[in-house]
Amino acid sequence: MRYAETGYNLEIDLTKGDIEKVMTDPRDMELYLGGQGTAAKMLWDRVPPEVEPFSEENLLIFSTGLLHATPAPSATRSSVDTFSAQTGLYSHSLFGGFWGPELKHAGYDKIIFRGKSPKLVYLWIHNDKVEIRDASHLAGKGSLETAELLKEELKNPQVQVAAIGLAGENRVYMSSIEHYNSSASRGVGHIMGDKRLKAIAIRGTKDVYVAKPAELHEICIRQYKDIYDKGPSVMTHSHDETWHTDVFAWGHARERRKGFWNKELEEEWKSVTDSVFVRFNGCFNCPIDCHASISLPGQRPYFYKCYGKLTYAMAAYKDVKFNYNMLAVTQEHGLDSFSTPQVLAFACELYEAGILTDKDLPGFPKDSGERFFYLVEKIVRRDGVGDALANGVYWAARQIGNGAEEYDHNTTKKFEQVPLKLGALNYPYFLMYATGEKMNITQIEGSFPQNPIPDKEKRKLFIEKWEAAPERFKKYYMEWEPRTQPSIEAAVNIVDWNETMHYIDDSVGVCAFVSAFKGQFNKSSYHINNYPKFISFATGLDIDQDKLWETARRNRTLIRAINNRRGLRRKDEKPPEDHWKQRIPEIEAKLIDEYYRFKGWNEDGIPTKKELDKLSLGYVAEDLMARGILTDNEGASSKEASAEKKE
């Protein structure tokens, strides 16, 4: 009897049209839990570094989290894992909604795609009945439109659909996989498009079992209340945008506009929001409503994610109304609302600089807003210069050339970062930007506060209520004075904790917004102290805090190894040059050294054999050594290996 997980994966070969239901090894759950963890294992085992992202051998894996479809609230995040054509590295994105739990009730933990379909298809899963069905009639259709059409075509309003839009079909690097009010936005949609897979539609009516029913129920009921009381994402609910408009940079991650926000604006933007707002909605079995249905006059309604509210507006120096209009278009096309606005702003900068001309952009409008709409249509069709821009800032800059590289100033490992430009170097953030495997800071940061509370008494109160934090972090926090940096040792621990929570969330499928991301506000309902209960009651695993922490470390290290195998080295681990005004090279170097040491990696950022064995990743060590990436005297890194690595 398997608890929490179904014990089956669905293996789909799109080239041959093969469909297999494969039983999984229970031991993997103990080692990697599920979700991202077990997906990483699979990518390691089955996708050697030679495999190009756009090739039949690349895998696209949709994983439910370990706690999906158990009564544990807010376990909704499915994880999509593959190799990205943009970074050439491991790529990982998450989406909530209803899709993951539905997959589990259909009887599967994962869907693993390999190969490429000769023509556009979609996958229809109804419990044991699985079909690959023609999708030529859906070509070019919007992502939400597709969902609606499929529900009708399949005569089943309860079907849950994840689909790509035109952007995905055309392998745009910023393309997303959209599902209802959530999307896997960061660097996976283009692979789904490359496999000619338009959508996955699921209906499941099977039971999912848990090991310790009564105990689990008891803590879940309390958890519902706790999550509700700690409240939803303020980004959807609050009308005060001071923080975003002041702190984040406008345009192409260029300018900060302190004091931009005022009461009049708040009134004005609020009335705009009220005019298009339909209702708040939430994800499966989650009591908070971080999302909203938006309905623009004369257009199909769409559902926005907490974060997408201002990214286009700020990139285009426009207002919230523009943002709503932009989202209506980009969500149907299936575009990431973090990187897309930056690519658009980047293109506008190139035009201003004369690097892109009217020849490249015939009939390019004057107004920045109209320019965005213009560019989006070019990009999703890979039309003209849109073809270059569709590959993201890093590659576009190089394809366009003649000085465009200068304007690629906000990417890390070829990937667009959130538009932040700050003053003093921040130790933990430096490490997170430099070393994060997830590329996206919001998926790395979160448990430890970004700033200390100035008043010591208040800080004391804060840590007294801080049930999420292991003791040492309370100490670090108490010692941390405003306008100072935590000690290097503290910084390393902080990063480790932040990461650890995300790696747990992503393997059990819990939303970071009730866990890893909320710790800094003292509002995480799931944390290292109660997670073991939820996991062991649900799965029957005998797991405690230390074992859980170690599991997270295992997953994190495995993913690091996957990237090392694809050439990632220390030299790649740097935040955007201008992220902080003042940089301190020697401290930065020290931070990296300490962090690697703490992680059990060598100075080039490659896990040592010792560490790998300790984490029962011996097979990884063997492979890395066989490939000469690790040497027997595992201290030093393999010069050849890093030399090999060329752009």
Partner 1 sequence: MKDVLEKKTVKVIKVNVDKCIGCRACEVACSAFHATPQYSSTNPARARIRVIMDEFNDIYVPIYAGEYAKAECNGKNVYTVDGKTYDECTFCRASCPSRDYFKEPDSGLPLKCDMCLDEPPLEEPLCVQVCRSDSLTYEEMEEEEMEEEEKPGQLEIGLESLVNKHGSKRVMESLARMKEERE
Partner 2 sequence: MVEQEIKNKDKPIKKVIKVDVDKCNGCRACEAICSAFHAEPKYSSTNPEKSKIRVLFDPIKDIYIPVHAGEYTEAECNGKNVYTIGGKQYNECAFCRAPCPSRDLFKDPDSGLPLKCDMCLDEPPQDEPLCVKWCLSDALTYEEVEDEEEKGEAKDEMETGLDSLINKHGLAMVMDSLAQMQEEKS
Stretch binding partner 2 (CB under 8 A), from 126-134, 238-246, 304-312, 464-472: 126-134
Burial 228-249 (b: 16+ CB within 10 A, else e): eebebbebbeeeebeebbeebb
Rounded to a whole number of angstroms, the distance between the first and last alpha carbons of the chain is 49
Q: How far is the CB of 99 from partner 1 (least distance, A)?
A: 13
Helix (H, G, I), strand (E, B) or coil at 456: helix
Q: Which does 128 bind (CB under 5 to 8 A by kind): partner 1, partner 2, none?
A: none
Kindly tell me which residue out of 53, 88, 189, 204 binds partner 1, with binding defined by CB under 8 A.
Answer: 204
Residue identified by tokens 């900060």 is: 256
Kindly tell me which residue out of 37, 53, 71, 100 binds partner 1, with binding defined by CB under 8 A.
Answer: 71
The helix or strand, by DSSP H or E, that contains position 63, with its residue range, turns out to be strand 60-63
- Nearer Cβ to partner 1, position 62 or 180? 180
616: Cβ contacts below 8 Å, ≥ 6 apart: 31, 554
- Nearer Cβ to partner 1, position 203 or 438? 203
Contacting partner 1 within 98-117 (CB under 8 A) = 98, 105
Q: Give the binding-site size for partner 2 (rule: CB under 8 A).
A: 8
Q: Rounded distance, CA 22 to CA 20, Å? A: 6
Reference 413, options 559, 562, 573; nearest CA is 573
403 contributes a contact to partner 1 by CB under 8 A = no
Helix (H, G, I), strand (E, B) or coil at 15: coil
Q: Which does 204 bind (CB under 5 to 8 A by kind): partner 2, partner 1, none?
A: partner 1
Helix (H, G, I), strand (E, B) or coil at 305: coil
Helices (H), 509-544: 531-539
Kindly tell me which residue out of 261, 280, 307, 521 binds partner 1, with binding defined by CB under 8 A.
Answer: 280
DSSP string, 74-93: TB--EEEEEE-TTTSSEEEE
Stretch binding partner 2 (CB under 8 A), from 97-105, 132-140, 197-205, 554-562: 132-140
- Nearer Cβ to partner 2, position 17 or 403? 17
Q: Rounded distance, CA 471 to CA 356, Å? A: 55
Kindly tell me which residue out of 17, 26, 118, 301 binds partner 1, with binding defined by CB under 8 A.
Answer: 301
Stretch binding partner 1 (CB under 8 A), from 78-86, 193-201, 281-289, 471-479: 281-289
Dihedral (C-alpha) 274, 278, 284, 285: value to the nearest 10 degrees? 70
Stretch binding partner 1 (CB under 8 A), from 27-35, 37-45, 280-288, 352-360: 280-288
Binding mask 124-153 for partner 1 (x = CB under 8 A): --------------------x---x-----
Contact 231, 523 (CB under 8 A): yes
Encode 210-242 in three state secondary structure.
Answer: CCCHHHHHHHHHHHHHHHHHHCCCHHHHCCCCH
395: Cβ contacts below 8 Å, ≥ 6 apart: 86, 173, 388, 414
Kindly tell me which residue out of 197, 286, 314, 335 binds partner 1, with binding defined by CB under 8 A.
Answer: 286
- Nearer Cβ to partner 1, position 214 or 643? 214
Q: How far is the CB of 101 from partner 1 (least distance, A)?
A: 8
- Nearer Cβ to partner 2, position 201 or 290? 201
586: Cβ contacts below 8 Å, ≥ 6 apart: none
Q: Which does 590 bind (CB under 5 to 8 A by kind): partner 2, partner 1, none?
A: none
Kindly tell me which residue out of 121, 220, 490, 561 binds partner 2, with binding defined by CB under 8 A.
Answer: 121
Q: Give the binding-site size for partner 1 (rule: CB under 8 A).
A: 44
Q: Rounded distance, CA 309 to CA 185, Å? A: 15
Specify the pairing of strand 121-126 against strand 197-203: parallel
Kindly tell me which residue out of 132, 272, 422, 625 binds partner 2, with binding defined by CB under 8 A.
Answer: 132
80 contributes a contact to partner 1 by CB under 8 A = no
- Nearer Cβ to partner 1, position 10 or 288? 288
Residue identified by tokens 């799931």 is: 526
DSSP string, 136-155: GGGTT--HHHHHHHHHHHTT
Stretch binding partner 1 (CB under 8 A), from 274-282, 388-396, 522-530, 571-579: 274-282
Reference 342, options 439, 444, 245, 249; nearest CA is 249
Contacting partner 2 within 249-288 (CB under 8 A) = none
Stretch binding partner 1 (CB under 8 A), from 64-72, 321-329, 508-516, 622-630: 64-72
18-27 contacts, C-beta under 8 A, 24 or more apart: 19/130, 19/132, 21/108, 21/128, 21/130, 24/109, 24/110, 26/2
206 contributes a contact to partner 1 by CB under 8 A = yes
Q: Which does 133 bind (CB under 5 to 8 A by kind): partner 1, partner 2, none?
A: partner 2
Binding mask 618-637 for partner 2 (x = CB under 8 A): --------------------
Q: Rounded distance, CA 548 to CA 32, Å? A: 10
Q: Which does 70 bind (CB under 5 to 8 A by kind): partner 2, partner 1, none?
A: partner 1
155 contributes a contact to partner 2 by CB under 8 A = yes
Stretch binding partner 1 (CB under 8 A), from 223-231, 356-364, 556-564, 570-578: 223-231
Amino acid at 594: E
Taken as a whole, the chain contains a residue count of: 647
Q: Which two structure tokens, joined as six digits, stand for 122?
A: 């979609």
Binding mask 154-183 for partner 1 (x = CB under 8 A): ---xx---------------------xx--
Kindly tell me which residue out of 134, 246, 489, 622 binds partner 2, with binding defined by CB under 8 A.
Answer: 134
131 contributes a contact to partner 2 by CB under 8 A = yes
133 contributes a contact to partner 2 by CB under 8 A = yes
Q: Rounded distance, CA 190 to CA 244, Å? A: 29
Kindly tell me which residue out of 21, 279, 597, 639 binds partner 1, with binding defined by CB under 8 A.
Answer: 279
Q: Rounded distance, CA 599 to CA 608, Å? A: 9
Kindly tell me which residue out of 27, 129, 366, 646 binds partner 2, with binding defined by CB under 8 A.
Answer: 129
Radius of gyration of the chain (CA): 23
299 contributes a contact to partner 1 by CB under 8 A = no
Q: Which does 155 bind (CB under 5 to 8 A by kind): partner 1, partner 2, none?
A: partner 2
283 contributes a contact to partner 1 by CB under 8 A = yes
What's the Cα-to-Cα distance from 646 to each of 567, 617, 641, rounded to whole Å? 9, 28, 10
How would you class 148 by CB atoms within 10 Å of its CB: exposed for 0-12, middle for 13-18, buried for 19 or more?
middle
Please report, as ranges, the residues that interact with partner 2 according to CB under 8 A. 17, 121, 129, 131-134, 155
By CB under 8 A, name the binding residues for partner 1.
Answer: 69-71, 73, 98, 105, 144, 148, 157-158, 180-181, 204-210, 213-214, 216-217, 221, 224-225, 228, 278-289, 293, 295, 300-301, 303
